[in-house]
A and B are shown apart, each in its own frame.
Chain A
Amino acid sequence: MDFGFTEDQRQIQRTARELLADRARPERVREHAEAGTVDRALWRELCELGWPGIAVAEDNGGQGLGRIELSILCEELGRALAPVPFLPSVMAATLIEHAGSPQQRERWLPGLAAGEFTGALGTAVDGMAELVIGAPDAAVIVLVEEDRSGRLLEAAQAEVTLTASIDPTRPCATVSVVSDGGEALAGDVPAGIDRALVAISSELVGVCDRALEMTVAYVKERKQFGVPVGAYQAVSHRCAQMLLETEKARSTAAFAAWTADADPERLPEAAAMAKAAASDAAREVTASAIQAHGGIGFTWEADVHWLFKRAQLDAALLGGGKRHRAQLAAILAERLGAPAVG
């Protein structure tokens, strides 16, 4: 039993954090958010480092590392709010890897792993998906339906209409299937969705972590009535609550990432727990961050709102807390008679 990272995993985390602290500085993120652009220079650099293919099997052109390593990168990119199509692209690759045919894998995975082109993943109702992150630039788009069936579209097979979400750090689009376009994903779509949920959850953990870090720094600095506001328990207890929510999300996301590789039978439950915990945590923690920043937190100038906005989009992505708790309740109902204790 060891809940910690290996030395290699810690190294990945350190390297990623240092790189992003330098390349995705807040002013740079703001620049791209305000212009509505992707940071192509950063994306190229991440691709050269092999990030998009970290969890793609070596046979499919990736590095063949695990979901924990992928989660580490997702968390760091979430922390930095990096304006790159990493999450949508790795989610598309995950779906294709788990649910695609050999031909589909061969056609798309090496390119996605190398970052030659990007992908996107959306939730569709009757062939139309709204707010598909990364879709405007994607060469391949995976749409999953409510019944957990999946469809793979080349960009030409989709009508992609740019839409502005409240989170301008990543471009979004409405995606519609053109006539009978696209191919069905015939494999294990739920296995892909569950792994995508883990990736989103990890990004949300990063968002929480950063929101808490910024808030703690601010309330130590900001003085009212002659003392740092962080000395008041109304404020410090709010920060403690933010940590509690963050750690709940972190522990369930780490567990889900671990089960994805080591104990896949438990993944559906673990992924639902992670996404439920992370979605709610991120919305609560980033809202708290705005509140603890006071007036400045409500301004466009303070960077805390980017985190709040990222949290909303990611929380909604593939279903939020309520959806995944309903999923969990179904799992619990099914399991009645056999307690969950492992």
Chain B
Amino acid sequence: MDLTFSPKETAFRDELRAWLAENQPDVEPLDGGEDAHYAWRRDWQRRLYDAGWAAPAWPTEYGGRGASLTESAIYFEEIGRARVPFAANTLGLLLGGPTLMVWGTPEQKERYLAPILSAEEIWCQGFSEPDAGSDLASLKTRAVKDPEHPDQWLVTGQKVWTSGAQYSKWCMLVARTDQDAAKHKGLTYFLMDMEQDAVQVRPLRQITGESEFNELFIEEARIPDANVVGGVGNGWKVALTTLMNERAGLGFALQIRLRQLLDDLIAAAAERGLLEDPRYADALAELHVRCESIRLLAWKGLTDAERYGQPGPEGSLVKWLWSDTNQRLTELAVDIIGPEALTAGTPWSYEFLRARGNTIEGGTTEVLKNIVAERVLGLPRLKVAA
């Protein structure tokens, strides 16, 4: 057990930290709506890209730095610590690219990876559907061969929770290609061109009032055979690769954001003289313990991943604890900050409302508990009545 960093890891952190100190993004556009905000993040990714910092975890042959898992975690810690935005194409960088590296053909890698890195082509994720949330494999969007063009597929269906869809060129789309096969077997993973009339994007307004996500309405959208990833009927496996990558690195950035929010709250409590109030002191100290144990458990998961090749299902614990802690933190903030935290448009009211999504997105807490119970503790699986 050694919780210090190697000279190589420290050098990596120092280099990035120095670069971030020299290279702050432009001032965040608070007016001008989501388009302006997105353009700002896209511009930021281009600057990361120019300096070789867009995706350090990618192998050097694809334009990354071949960073180790630890270095990659350091990267997200530093991004979080510097309070700079995530790159515009985060889904392409974290999910799409790594999935193609595993399952893509040489042609696909050649065609798609570079524009992901440079933010030239933005990616979105078409997995969830209105009737397929936690039970993702029950999805109904269907792809059939075009009788007139046998090398092309026609896709029809509906997707939901698609962030960045309005800015995206490519969608990682999972669709049913075999109606008769077993639930998990009849799926195929496609790269769908978003620039076609058959794909309609409708913003999904969320409880914060803004629209981070969209709905996709797909009516006979065209996808060539060349855009199948990992083979027809193999979509579930490919999708799992994407999902496995979903929380691997981002967790470290989220953990730092939580830390910063807690530091802000502790400072606010102190200003109001509430840090000496035993009720608030106890609650803040409990959040501190949780925050630190999230950090420790995340590093522990990384050690396991480095030793055994991939993160275990224990990663579910980190996401579960993080989302629950962020909710508790923002609830306590409402008590400590007072009316300002319940006033529309304030940062604390935003954090408070946004936190409600944390225990749903990226695996609901209920599903995470099932994963822990079944795959970590080995408890019997609940048999659901058909």
Contact = CB atoms under 8 A, between A and B. Distances in A.
Contacts of A263: 3
Given A216-B378, A236-B379, A68 B1 contact: yes
Contact of B369 (A219, A233, A251, A326): A233
Given A230-B379, A236-B370, A332 B299 contact: no
Contacts of B290: 248
Contact of B259 (A212, A240, A324, A340): A340
A239 B377 CA distance: 8
Given A1-B3, A236-B373, A341-B259, A332 B266 contact: yes
18 contacts: A1-B2, A1-B3, A1-B6, A3-B302, A212-B377, A216-B379, A227-B383, A236-B374, A236-B379, A240-B368, A240-B372, A240-B377, A252-B296, A276-B286, A325-B286, A329-B282, A333-B276, A340-B259
Interface residues of A toward B: which range? 35 or more
Contacts of A239: 373, 377, 379
Given A4-B303, A68-B1, A262-B3, A276 B380 contact: no
Given A247-B314, A325-B285, A341-B256, A219 B275 contact: no
Given A5-B1, A329-B282, A336-B270, 11 more contacts: A1-B2, A1-B6, A4-B307, A230-B379, A239-B377, A325-B286, A332-B284, A332-B285, A333-B275, A341-B260, A341-B263
Interface string B350-375: 00000000000000001011101110
B310 to A, nearest CB: 15
Nearest to B284: A329
Interface in B76-112: 81
A247 to B, nearest CB: 6
B358 to A, nearest CB: 16
A314 B383 CA distance: 40
Q: Is the interface of A mostly helix, strand, loop or mixed?
A: helix
Contact of B317 (A9, A243, A255): A243
Interface in B245-299: 256, 259-260, 263, 266-267, 270, 275-276, 278, 281-282, 284-286, 288-290, 292-293, 296-297, 299
A324 B289 CA distance: 10
Interface string A1-36: 111111001000000000000000000000000000
Given A2-B2, A4-B1, A216 B263 contact: no
Interface of B: 1-6, 9, 70, 81, 256, 259-260, 263, 266-267, 270, 275-276, 278, 281-282, 284-286, 288-290, 292-293, 296-297, 299-300, 302-304, 307, 314, 317, 320-321, 366, 368-370, 372-374, 376-383
A209 to B, nearest CB: 12
Contacts of B81: 341
Contacts of A216: 377-379
Contacts of B288: 273, 328, 332, 340
A228 to B, nearest CB: 5
Interface string A159-203: 000000000000000000000000000000000000000000000
Contacts of A255: 3, 292, 296
A232 B1 contact: no
A244 B3 contact: no
Given A233-B369, A276-B289, A326 B278 contact: yes
B226 to A, nearest CB: 42
A113 interface: no
Given A252-B292, A336-B270, A340-B288, A231 B300 contact: no
Interface string A89-100: 000000000000
